Amino acid sequence: MPRLSTLYLFSYNTLQAIGWATAFFIIISHFIPTKSFNGAYAAAGDLVCLLQTSSFLEVIHGAIGLVPSGVLLPLMQWGGRTHFVLAIVRQIHEVQELPPVFIAFVAWSIGEVIRYSHYAFNCIGSCPAWLMYLRYTAFIVVYPVGVAFGEMWLMYEALPFIKAKNLYANHFNNKLPFSYYSFVVGLLVVYPFLWLKLYLHLFKQRQSKLRKKHEKKH
């Protein structure tokens, strides 16, 4: 009989996979008839915000030892994406219709459907070989596209609006020696380096997981 923790992780990952698949379907369904990159946030923004925010559970999973991921890397990914979608996209209406939002949401959706499906199948001990290969291969393209042409491009486009609105002035200007605008500029500088840490970690996982799969076959 499966342990309660296994049932919980299977349920969590299955729900996340279904949620991201739904977000992807909504975005593409809106794109096909309009042939426009505009409207991704209007169509699926609330769902993406919910899914991304709830993924903080993965930081907790690592912290309490439910999964072997640790805390730092899940927290970095959760923090970067949640800041992007909640602090910038959701708060600045002028950027919600821009192409980078579409690119980020589609890249996230593809990556997360694969990732959560892989985790869910692993929970029941029957992950198909093709899904494992996809999990440790698709990220090579999906992740950099989502980061460079989605998250970073959008943050750059948002800078004039952040400055004009003096966004989060009560939290930054009054309590910290720099503005939120300066924070985002600094974030854009370090973003590639922070992301590279996650990216290289995935390559190490890819080498390890696919090698083990190859050794089992032989």
Query: Contact 156/192 with Cβ under 8 angstroms?
Result: no
So which residues are the catalytic ones?
143, 151
Q: Which two structure tokens, joined as six digits, stand for 216?
A: 């089992």
- Transcribe 148-213 into DSSP letters: IIIIIHHHHHHHHHHHHHTTTTTTTTTTSSS-HHHHHHHHHHHHHHHHHHHHHHHHHHHHHHHHHH
The position carrying tokens 């923004």 is: 45
CA distance 124 to 163: 49
